[in-house]
Structure formats: structure tokens, C-alpha cells
Amino acid sequence: MALHAKLDAGTGFARPVSSSQAVFRCVMDALARPGSVQTITDGVNAPPLLVPATAAIALTLFDHDTPVWLGQRLEAETDIASWLRFQTGAPLTDDASIAAFALIHNGAALPDFESFALGTPEYPDRSATLVVQVDTFSEGPELILSGPGIRGTSSLHAGGLPSDFVERMKANRALFPRGVDLLMVCGHDVVALPRSTQVSAGKV
């Protein structure tokens, strides 16, 4: 996944440049330490249905070169499309397979990963990053994580994910270096699950 900070976020942030830089660092820390909960402290004026972390990530990472796909619930809210276009300049697409980013309102309704760009062996970075809103990072089934950025294994709880989430993540990992990357968000918090992360079920 190739990411760069967008420093002209407009009026979504009270301090666009410094806030974009801070959010970018937060996302990079999350990607470097998969499964760790990182908190975005900069405030953002977000439209309804977008939690603060989702809006902050959009303001920081989206631009005119990053097509964005909206899940059905978000697509139905025209204010969200207008906000994204005005604040980020990102084009919205109905074709998930060409989206650089996807916004998913409810993790339980997470679409199949195969719907999105998975990259190619020559250009694995040409894949989608899914920003997925979940219910909580303190409850829910335990996920055991391993892989780059994790010493041994780590544990994560995330509520509001599909029942077959572990199987989906295993299939995604099997595609490496192809595959999607996930940024799960709840409130002001973000947790990254890059395609390199191995996910297995923990204690029930």
C-alpha cells in the first residue's frame, strides 16, 4: 500500500496541515504495529455516519488520484459524498475493483475482499485499502495476530465483524504480496491489519 499525506485538507480540520501530518503518523504507526490501537487526537468536523477516525483518515489520505468506493449505507447519504468531494477532491466510484480506498460503515456488512483491487504480482501496491468502522476494540471475539511488526503474537478484540472474518483474512494473507489492507476504526481509534498479517481465532 502506497500512502502519502495530503496536506491541503480544507476546513475539515481546524489546523489542516499539522492535523494531516499527525493523522498520517498515527496511521503509519498503526501499520507498523498491526493490531495496536492508535488514537487520533486531532478533532475533525465529520458528517453523520462517519466516525471521527474515518473522517480524519479521509482528509489525510484521499485526494484527486484516489478513487473512493462507498458501502451501500454511506452511498445512500448524499451529504457524505458531497463532503468527501469538497474536502478531499477524491473521485467517487461505483466500481469497487478500481477503488484505492473503500469506506465501510458497518464491519458486519464487510463485502468480499475479491470485490476490490488486490494488486498484481508486478504492482502489489495497486490494491485497495478498506476503512472499516467497527463497534469496539474492547469486546468481541479474540483475534490472534502474527507477522511483520509483531513480536511473537498479539491479541485483538474487535466487535462488529462478520462471522467468517478469520477465514477471509487467511485467504487474503495467502495472496501476499497481493491483497487488501484494512484500517479498522472505532471512535477516534484506528487499528491496522495489513495484508502481511496472519490472523487466527483466539479463545471463544
User: pTM, whole model, 2 decimals?
Assistant: 0.92
Q: For the chain, how far is it from start to end, CA to CA, in angstroms?
A: 32
Torsion 67-43-25-184 (CA) sign: negative
Q: Please give the chain's pLDDT, 204 residues, in tens.
A: 556 555 443 458 767 788 889 999 999 999 999 999 999 987 788 888 999 999 999 999 999 999 999 998 999 988 999 999 999 999 999 999 999 999 999 999 999 999 999 999 999 999 999 999 999 999 889 999 999 999 999 999 999 999 999 999 999 999 999 999 999 999 999 999 999 999 999 876
Q: Which SS3 state, helix, strand or coil, does residue 132 take? A: strand
Residue 130 belongs to what H/E stretch? strand 129-133
Which architecture, in CATH terms, is 10-201?
3-Layer(aba) Sandwich (3.40)
The three cell numbers locating residue 142: 479474540
